[in-house]
Amino acid sequence: MISLDGPTQKGIDSKSGTTHFGFQEVPIEEKPRMVAAVFDFVASRYDLVNDVLSLGIHRLWRRTAIRLSGVGPGDRVLDVAGGTGDFTTRLAAMVRYEGLVVLAEINDTMLQLGRARLENHIAVGNVRYVQADAENLPFSDDCFDCVTIGFGLRNMTDQDAALESMHRALKPGGPLVILEFSHPTVRGFQPFYDFYSFKVMPLVGRVITGGGSGFRYLAESIRVSPDQERLKNMMERAGFERCEYFNLSGGIVAVHRGYREG
């Protein structure tokens, strides 16, 4: 088994002007470019990789998160870091034609793939696409009934700023639902999870995409991301109330939910 000697749960260091990119410490201004390069490379095989690496279980994780959103007909929903549109597809069906889903994604390659996927394979007239930075969302205050984000928060440079921006965009009473990799809670599971993450994932990624370094970053980014309690505390600090989380698959993934109160 391998051991982890890298940093854990670190964010922006304002004194040194650095933040984490996996286990590396990099200048704050460099991280967005480095993350963009990872997703530019994996974008065309992103959905296939998710299916293979999770054995399809990611679809159940997403379904659980969407159910916890409580979204219904006529709602206006913002899907932050919407990528290739997995959340948006499900949300669009739930809000129906009288509602609206905005897929917001900072990476142009992922955004274009998501748009092509939705427009070519499902008939939806209630979806809009916006290239946007989650840390500074270009929407007015009190704009959406619900905000969702799936597997995107850990890639953001300033997660606190992103949470505050999403809080601002929500209508009073609206929920934020975050689906994100977290920290396993099953005793004795960590060594096996480490082996899979740092040995199997890069190998499978290399076979599917022709490169494995991006998958090493993705595995490392999970280890340095907030655990369940810390993310809950971050949401509360950003102004969310009634915050809670639901562990899935033994804590490999967690759904966090909090509300903007009026």
pLDDT exceeds cutoff 90 at 52: no
Q: Is residue 199 part of a domain?
A: yes
Region at 136 (left for phi over 0; alpha for psi -120 to 50; beta for the rest): beta
- Residue 181 in any domain: the answer is yes
Domain-embedded: residue 61: yes
- Residues 52-60 have a mean pLDDT of 88
Place of tokens 């990611």: 58
Question: What percent of the chain is predicted at pLDDT more than 90?
Answer: 60
Q: What is the mean pLDDT of residues 123-130?
A: 85
What pTM was estimated for this model as a whole?
A: 0.89
The mean pLDDT value for 34-62 works out to 85
In a domain, 39, yes or no: yes
Does the pLDDT value for residue 209 go beyond 70? yes
The whole-number average pLDDT for the span 53-80 is 95
Q: Is the pLDDT of residue 203 over 50?
A: yes
Tell me whether residue 1 is in a domain: no
* 91 token code pair: 């949300």
Residue 194 lies in a domain: yes
Residue 63 lies in a domain: yes
Split at pLDDT 50, 70, 90, the class of 3 is very low
Question: Does residue 201 lie in a domain region?
Answer: yes
Distance of CA 8 to the CA centre of its chain: 18
Closest CA to 257 of 237, 232, 238: 232
For residues 73 and 50, which has the higher predicted lDDT (pLDDT)? 73
Whether pLDDT at 42 is above 90: no
Domain that holds residue 167: 33-259
Averaged pLDDT for residues 177-204: 91
Domain count of the fold of the chain? 1
More confident residue, 31 or 179: 179
Amino acid 210: pLDDT? 75
Average pLDDT over residues 60-74: 97
Q: Name the nearest CA neighbour of 65 among 250, 254, 235.
A: 254
Q: What is the CATH number of the domain that holds 95?
A: 3.40.50.150
Report which of residues 50 and 149 the model is more confident about: 149
pLDDT at 43 over 60: yes
- The two tokens of residue 176 are 């934020």
Higher pLDDT, 153 or 2: 153
